[in-house]
Amino acid sequence: MVLENLGRNLDNAIRKLRRLPRVDKDAINALIQDLQRALLSADVKVELVFEMTENIKKEAMNTKLQKAKRKDFVISLIHDELVRVLGGKQAPIRIKPGKKNVILLVGIQGSGKTTTIGKLAKFYNSKGYKVATITTDTYRPGAYEQLVQLTKQIPVKCYGNPNEKNALKIAVKETKKALADGHDIILADTAGRHKEEKELMTEMQKIENVLKPNETILVIDGTLGQQAYPQAEEFGKATNLGSIIVTKLDGTAKGGGALSACAATNVPIRFIGVGEKIDAFEEFEATSFVGTLLGIPNLEALIQRVQEAEVVPDPETVKRMMHGKFTLEDLYHQIKNIKKVGKMREILAMMGGGNIPDALKDDAERNIEKWRVVLDSMTQEEKNEPKIIKKTRKRRIAIGSGTEYAVINKMLDQYNQMKKMMKRFLQARKKGKGMPGMPGMGKGAAAFMDKLSKNFKF
């Protein structure tokens, strides 16, 4: 596995957390230390490590989730933070099948450009493109022969002219030939060595100008670790960099540094090289990369569980509700959110105590989708002031939404009960009465309301 040590260390830290009976302050502090150690030994920049772990710590300490969900939540925080520093989601290279597509590889000597041309050729060839490679490297002895040998095994055609000393001329002529031969992706290799660096950069710019590639890709050696940053920056200034390929991530302990440094330049990492062989190559996608790294096979499910558990009433709605401005839409969203967590009964019980009959609770749960249809057939005025919904309006809504009267009636019933309860709650608060004294409100409900009112300061 790429970044094997980092993966193992992160995995150990997560296992340790999972084994603990609960996630408290000490557990979070211990986790943060483990993460810092793991990231620093993968050569991630110190400042970045502290920023990442500070973010994780802050969120982890703040969570109001129930105990059972906290571990998942903290793990998803680690995941999200790693994805963020690795560049997040990115779009693929824009390639138009059957048209002229040119991909230009640049990078310093020995970074792995020529090897990567072979890997890319195999990658696109297997996707059904008519791939050709060209080399414009007039500096490295035997550069043309190296690429010929490499591409022979795929097989894809290699263009070049070992007798021509002008890289620009080769670029123009050979690309033309390759296109005329019916190829639709041309992978162009460039020189990495030159008499001096400035000349190398100038030549690259000129080639870029004449070839007008779909994308210029920087090939960077992963063993550089965080030193990849200044290099990527320099190339970014000289060329119109579209993406980065980080090579030699197999067997380097510094991969974390190289990947995070490249991502910090805001140029996406598209592929990684993980060995000398032609198929030691992977598409890079931060989310799945981090999933593998953390050893969490079913990351999607984990994230979903946490997201669902995070559903809380939106503060604006609660504020309006507490001022007696409670609409049918509010009721709908409240019940919809609660349903998502699968705890409708619990929360309704908490909010309404014994006030809401069981039959009604079940009904709300079963009919929530119908409620949406009903709501869509109502005017804004009706949603805000449901008491104006009398016989005629009801008939119109029933016809418009294709729903029975019973559904509309029950929805309005539910609304009225909720509204009454809010009103009593507000009156009790105004009179300075304590919650437990409120008729029809259970202990849990009182505590819940109290917490809401404190959180939202109404």
**Which residue ranges make up the site for ligand GTP (CB under 6 A)?**
107, 109-115, 137, 140, 192-193, 247-248, 250, 273-276, 280
- Residue 453's region, left for phi above 0, alpha for psi from -120 to 50, else beta, is alpha
- Rg (alpha carbons) of the chain, rounded to whole number: 31
Nearest distance from C-beta of residue 223 to ligand GTP, angstroms: 9
Q: What is the DSSP string of 7-47?
A: HHHHHHHHHHHHHSS---HHHHHHHHHHHHHHHHHTT--HH
- Could you give the CA distance from residue 54 to residue 301 in angstroms, rounded to a whole number? 25
At a CB cut-off of 8 Å and minimum separation 6, what does 157 contact?
Answer: 132, 133, 151, 178, 181, 183
Q: Which is nearer to ligand GTP, 275 or 444 (CB)?
A: 275
Residues 186/175, Cβ–Cβ less than 8 Å: yes
Q: Which is nearer to ligand GTP, 222 or 242 (CB)?
A: 222
Residue 53 as a binder of Mg ion (CB under 5 A): the answer is no
Nearest distance from C-beta of residue 107 to ligand GTP, angstroms: 6
Query: What are the φ/ψ torsions at residue 271 (nearest 5 degrees)?
Result: -140, 160
What is the token pair recorded at 429? 């608060």
- 153: closest CA among 113, 100, 115? 115
Residue 114 as a binder of Mg ion (CB under 5 A): the answer is yes
Nearest distance from C-beta of residue 222 to ligand GTP, angstroms: 7
Nearest distance from C-beta of residue 142 to Mg ion, angstroms: 10
Cα angle 337, 342, 346; round to 5:
90
Q: Which is nearer to ligand GTP, 6 or 191 (CB)?
A: 191
Mark the segment that binds Mg ion (CB under 5 A) among 106-114, 167-175, 345-353, 411-419: 106-114
Strands 281-283 and 269-273 turn out to be: antiparallel
Q: Which is nearer to Mg ion, 111 or 401 (CB)?
A: 111
- Could you give the CA distance from residue 263 to residue 169 in angstroms, rounded to a whole number? 34
Q: Which is nearer to Mg ion, 211 or 335 (CB)?
A: 211
Per partner kind, with CB cut-offs from 5 to 8 A, the member of Mg ion, ligand GTP, none near residue 111 is ligand GTP
Nearest distance from C-beta of residue 188 to Mg ion, angstroms: 12
* Cis peptide upstream of residue 141 (ω within 30 degrees of 0): no
Integer CA distances (angstroms), 187 to 10, 267, 385, in order: 37, 20, 65
Q: Which is nearer to ligand GTP, 43 or 137 (CB)?
A: 137
Q: Which is nearer to Mg ion, 114 or 355 (CB)?
A: 114
Per partner kind, with CB cut-offs from 5 to 8 A, the member of ligand GTP, Mg ion, none near residue 193 is ligand GTP
Nearest distance from C-beta of residue 151 to ligand GTP, angstroms: 12
Nearest distance from C-beta of residue 218 to ligand GTP, angstroms: 11
Nearest distance from C-beta of residue 107 to Mg ion, angstroms: 9
Q: How many CA atoms lie within 13 A of 230 on its CB side?
A: 2
Nearest distance from C-beta of residue 142 to ligand GTP, angstroms: 10
Number of residues counted as binding Mg ion (CB under 5 A): 2
- Could you give the CA distance from residue 92 to residue 214 in angstroms, rounded to a whole number? 12
Q: Which is nearer to ligand GTP, 107 or 352 (CB)?
A: 107
Q: Which is nearer to ligand GTP, 67 or 277 (CB)?
A: 277
Which H helix or E strand runs over 283? strand 281-283
Residue nearest to Mg ion (CB): 114
Per partner kind, with CB cut-offs from 5 to 8 A, the member of Mg ion, ligand GTP, none near residue 276 is ligand GTP
Per partner kind, with CB cut-offs from 5 to 8 A, the member of Mg ion, ligand GTP, none near residue 275 is ligand GTP
Residue ranges that bind Mg ion, judged by CB under 5 A: 113-114
